[in-house]
Structure 1
Amino acid sequence: MKDNELLAKWDSRHAEAESLGRVATVLEQNIHLATAGCRALDLACGRGANALFMATSGLEVTAWDLSPVAIGRLERAAGEQGLVINTAVRDVIAIPPEPRSFDLILVSFFLERSLAPVIAAALRPGGLLFYQTYSRVAVSDEGPSSEQFRLDDNELLTLFPTLKVRVYREERLLGDTRRGWRNMAMLVAQRV
């Protein structure tokens, strides 16, 4: 897909969406690991549910997305809530974060494997990576149809070998698949 087509696709999705999205489970369950006031990045932020959640949790938030429509919706919501979020329309693949620039990086429902070393390097010493996205083995068809944008078994653990794993969850098809946390993998890892 060409860059213009990709942008048009995401602008359309973000314009038509009824809500700002949902907060990533990895963030909701583990925000207590973040230090208040730390510099956080919501990478490929979409409409900004995660950025807003981090800002209300006392973090200094930066949010980047390719879609001007998504960034516009986030800016409006932040203004309505009286929150300060540093936003930018930014192609995170072409212009990734600088080394040692953030204390926390959140990646939710975005998978570009080639960025993994750059994301790890963008963490300051002691910094945390919060990552959540879809896995290939799933109990439903939720998520992207292309396997290119889904994780293989334990793949998320292998993408960030320089980071120390603090939290990991991937249930796959074990046990009662009607219960639990399915279709995804989550990771919290630290740069030591």
Structure 2
Amino acid sequence: MSEASPWLERWAHLLPANARSLDLACGHGRHTRWLLAHGATVTAIDRDAAALASLPAAVRRIEADIENGPWPLPDDSRFDAVIVTNYLHRPLLLRIAKSVAPGGILLYETFAQGNERFGKPSNPAFLLAPGELLTLADAAGLRVVAYEDGVAALPREACVQRLCAVRPAPGEAAGHVALYELRA
């Protein structure tokens, strides 16, 4: 089993206790398993039936081709945590971000422009433009807690963008200024 993303582990202290979580394009479920081990309930979505079948029985598994088929969840579905890693389909970005419940968190991490010099993906359709995740957060009314855009050394050298954003609870303002406890 692969390790969880250091980005997820870094911001895990912001996950609500017993978080209702969505692991989108979950693959073989490294984040699904991590979330389960930390007390979350998880809905895992992927198009790979074999990968989904390998997940623990406690996981709500949804086999769906979200790029070519309908969105597999009711429009009003909201989650305390939405996790997306190494996946990009721009027509779904806003829908994904709007799946974050009030007080919930979006952790998004994927490849960015410039990655073509390191290998795949190299198709611009699968590479975020500079600031694209910040634009998404603004459009969805999320408060940005942390953002990175640059070259990551591990697990292999790649250009990535990472976003940690929260949906303000009722009465809180959105925006980019927020104070959260940072844990080493």
TM-score normalised by length of structure 2:
0.78
Cα distance in 2 between the residues matched to 1:39 and 1:185: 24
Please point out which of 139, 160, 176 is paired with 1:184. 160
Q: Which has the higher helix share?
A: 1
8 A Cα contact 1:100 1:121, kept in partner: no
Q: Secondary structure of 2:150's partner?
A: coil
Deviates more, 1:31-40 or 1:139-148: 139-148
CA distance in 1, matches of 2:22, 2:146: 19
Distance 1:68 1:185 in 2: 28
Relative distance call for 1:140 and 1:32 in structure 2 (3 A) is: farther
Q: Return the alpha-carbon distance in structure 2 between the equivalents of residues 53 and 46 of structure 1.
A: 13
1:127 corresponds to: 104
Give, as a single letter, the amino acid of the residue that structure 1 aligns with 2:83.
L
In structure 2, C-alpha distance between the alignment counterparts of 1:62 and 1:189, rounded to whole Å: 20
Aligned to 1:95: 71
- Mean CA deviation greater in 112-121 or 38-47: 112-121
> Distance between the aligned counterparts of 1:58 and 1:30, measured in 2?
15
Q: Measure the CA separation in 2 of the matches of 1:191 and 1:35.
A: 12
Aligned length: 161
- TM-score, normalised via structure 1 length: 0.75
Is 2:89 the partner of 1:112? yes
Identity over aligned residues, as a percent? Answer: 31
Distance 1:122 1:166, change over 3 A: same
- Gapped runs of 5+ residues in structure 1? 1-19
CA distance in 2 between partners of 1:59 and 1:142 (Å): 34
What are the superposed Cα offsets for residues 26-83 of structure 1, whole Å, 9 maximum, x if unpaired?
212111110120100001101100100111011111101011121122x2xx25xxxx
Aligned to 1:168: 147
Alignment map for 1:34-183 (pairs within 5 Å): 34-73=15-54, 75=55, 78=56, 84-93=58-67, 94-97=70-73, 98-138=75-115, 141-161=118-138, 162-172=141-151, 183=159
* Partner amino acid, structure 2, of 1:112: H
- How far 1:126 moved relative to its partner? 1.3
Amino acid at match of 1:189: A
Q: 1:21: how far off?
A: 4.2
